[in-house]
C-alpha cells in the first residue's frame, strides 16, 4: 500500500521558498486527504533588545504573523482542505519545527522551503531546513521547485 500522510506541518515565514512549499503541501494534502498545520515561528532571539522586548515592535510582528496565517488558511480552505490549523510559536524555529510541533500534533510529514542562504551564512547561523532534516522524527520534504516542478528563478 502507498504511504498516505495524515498530518502535514508547513512552516512559513513569508519568503518565496516558504510560499512554494506551502502551495505544494496543499496539493499533497489534497491527494492524501490530510490535515495541515501551518506554522510561523517568531524567532525571539531576533527581536530581543538589551532591555527586553520592545512592545510596539513585537506587537507589529505578531499582527503581521496573524495576517499571514489567516491568508494561508483562507487559501488552503478555498483549495478544499477541510482540516486546517494555524500555529504561531515563539522561540527557536529549528527546535520547534523539528521536535516540538511534530510531537504535539502527531505530524507525519514536514514540508519546508529550501533556504536561500549561501555557504558562509549557513556556516554562521545554520539552516533551519538542514536542522529539521537531521532531527525531525518524521519524513521531511524540502521544496525547491514550483507547482510544475520547475526550479524557482530569481524572478519567480
- pLDDT, tens only, 32-47: 999 999 999 988 776 5
Strand pairing class (7-11; 52-53): unpaired
Mean pLDDT, rounded, of the chain: 85
Q: Which residue has the higher pLDDT, 57 or 125?
A: 57
Phi–psi pair at 20, nearest 5 degrees: -60, -45
If one compares 114 and 87, the residue with the highest pLDDT of the two is 87
Separation between Cα atoms, residue 6 and residue 55, nearest integer Å: 38
pLDDT of 144: 84
> Quick one: residue 110, left, alpha or beta (phi over 0 = left, psi -120 to 50 = alpha)?
beta
Average pLDDT estimate for 58-72: 89
Per-residue pLDDT at 39: 97
Residue 74 pLDDT greater than 90, yes or no: yes
pLDDT given at position 154: 57
Report the C-alpha gap between 36 and 41 in whole angstroms. 16
Task: Please say if the pLDDT value at position 104 is more than 70.
Answer: yes
What topology is assigned to 9-143 in CATH? Rossmann fold (3.40.50)
Average pLDDT score over residue span 131-150: 90
- Residues in contact with 88: Cβ distance below 8 Å, sequence separation at least 6, in sequence order: 39, 40, 41, 42, 62, 65, 66, 69
Amino acid at each position: 500500500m502507498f504511504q498516505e500522510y495524515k498530518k502535514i506541518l508547513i512552516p512559513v515565514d513569508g519568503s518565496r521558498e516558504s510560499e512554494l512549499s506551502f502551495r505544494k503541501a496543499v496539493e499533497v494534502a489534497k491527494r492524501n486527504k490530510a490535515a495541515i498545520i501551518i506554522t510561523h515561528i517568531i524567532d525571539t532571539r531576533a527581536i530581543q533588545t538589551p532591555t527586553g522586548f520592545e512592545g510596539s515592535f513585537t506587537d507589529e510582528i505578531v499582527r503581521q504573523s496573524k495576517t499571514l496565517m489567516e491568508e494561508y488558511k483562507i487559501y488552503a480552505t478555498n483549495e478544499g482542505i477541510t482540516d486546517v490549523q494555524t500555529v504561531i510559536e515563539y522561540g527557536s524555529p529549528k527546535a520547534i519545527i523539528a521536535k516540538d510541533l511534530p510531537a504535539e500534533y502527531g505530524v507525519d510529514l514536514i514540508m519546508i522551503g529550501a533556504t536561500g542562504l549561501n555557504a558562509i551564512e549557513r556556516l554562521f547561523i545554520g539552516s533551519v531546513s538542514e536542522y529539521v532534516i537531521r532531527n525531525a522524527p518524521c519524513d521531511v520534504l524540502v521544496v525547491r521547485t514550483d507547482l510544475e516542478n520547475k526550479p524557482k528563478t530569481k524572478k519567480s
